[in-house]
Homo-oligomer: A and B are copies of this chain.
Amino acid sequence: MQKSLLEIAQLVNGEVDGNSATMICGVSDVKAALEGTIVFAENEAWLDKAEQSPAVAVIIPKTLARKNKPVIKVASPKFAFGMLMQMYCPKVEYKPGVHQTAVIGENVVIEDGVSIQPYAVVQDGAKIGKGSVVGAFCFVGSKTVIGHKCMLNPGVVLYPNTVIGNRVILHSGVVVGSDGFGYVPHDGKQIKVPQIGTVLIEDDVEIGANTTVDCATLGKTVIGQGTKIDNQVQIAHNDVIGKNCIICAQVGISGSSTVGNNVILAGQVGLADHVTIDDNVIVGAKAGVAVNKHLKSNKVYLGSPAREIDTFKKSFAIQQRVPKLFDRVEQLENELKELKRQIAESVSADTV
């Protein structure tokens, strides 16, 4: 799909510097650029790399100067490049309709343009909104509501009474609405506390492969609008996650925790239960947040137990200086011993 640099610049609201008639045949990665394609570079180092590559043009920030190859200048090269990728990205079309092998229960509402793939099972009373795709082997539990333009990849399981908003993407192996982990000890055994709440996943959420979101004990577990969750994340009963969060792979959040808006949880973070995280917080990879803790807005937290970044860095710097402290103490011990010896000698001398 050949396009001129000018056409591409118009698509991404950018300015051309160089031959605007340059033909572009696709997009590629600046680290492994392909001939005839356009790449992006966020800084000068990457622009140099692009210059040495077979790419014919580069998308760069407005703050950079062009070198040799024609460029398109934009506010955010990564965002512009993402737009281009959408255009070049092979669109998978799902034919609307219900595959003959799908098992559809009673009183199921299937709106226009919905595609139900082979072997999907949709239980009684479920509702699937306009244009949504229910992939092969998906299980849609009874009375579950799915909004429009959702994409359920193969093998997603939605337990009964789950509510999914619009334009939600669920990757394979996602399980939503499984029982929260609730037991009460009684007579030496662990007695199951029935988990009779549900899950609400708001609009524009994307959830990665094999992630699990448990239903609430009572009430709702909530994933807020626009939040993006990576693979193998665990969201427990009664968690409430805000909007536009980024939750990276293998994060685990225990029950009844609240995460604000625009929060970033890096890989393998663990939140204990009843944690509160305010808006705009970043929690670093592998950090652990203890039970009942409250992380304050606009701050960065690292480590386990998680500490505010300045505190963490101070603590880390102190630890680096400890070996030297041993030397200093040894030095003091030697000097003091020597001094005592000197004084003892001079006292003897005096006595004499």
The residue of chain B having its C-beta at the shortest distance from the C-beta of A123 within the complex is B136
The residue of chain B having its C-beta at the shortest distance from the C-beta of A183 within the complex is B228
Across the interface, do B179 and A244 meet the contact criterion of CB distance under 8 Å?
A: no
A320 to chain B, nearest CB (A): 9
A325-B329 in contact given A171-B179, A244-B188, A339-B343 (Cβ < 8 Å): yes
A209 at interface, CB cutoff 8 A: yes
A131 at interface, CB cutoff 8 A: no
Report Cα–Cα, A214/B219, bound state, in Å.
Answer: 34
The residue of chain B having its C-beta at the shortest distance from the C-beta of A303 within the complex is B304
Count this chain's copies in the assembly.
Answer: 3
A65 at interface, CB cutoff 8 A: no
Contact residues on A (Cβ < 8 Å of other chain), bracket: 35 or more
A76 to chain B: which residues have CB within 8 Å?
184, 186
A314-351: which residues lie under 8 A (CB-CB) from chain B? 314, 318-319, 321-323, 325-326, 328-329, 332-333, 335-336, 339-340, 342-343, 346-347
Report Cα–Cα, A79/B333, bound state, in Å.
Answer: 57
The residue of chain B having its C-beta at the shortest distance from the C-beta of A83 within the complex is B191
Give the residue of B171, B173, B254 whose beta carbon is less than 8 angstroms from that of A267.
B254
A153 to chain B: which residues have CB within 8 Å?
157, 159, 178
A83-121: which residues lie under 8 A (CB-CB) from chain B? 85-86, 88-90, 92, 99, 101, 103, 117-119, 121
Known: A209-B212, A232-B252, A254-B267. 17 other contacts (CB 8 A): A29-B217, A32-B219, A85-B193, A85-B194, A92-B142, A92-B160, A99-B103, A103-B118, A137-B155, A153-B159, A155-B157, A181-B249, A183-B228, A190-B244, A190-B246, A236-B249, A336-B336
The 5 closest A-B pairs by CB, nearest first: A178-B209, A139-B154, A157-B172, A175-B209, A29-B218
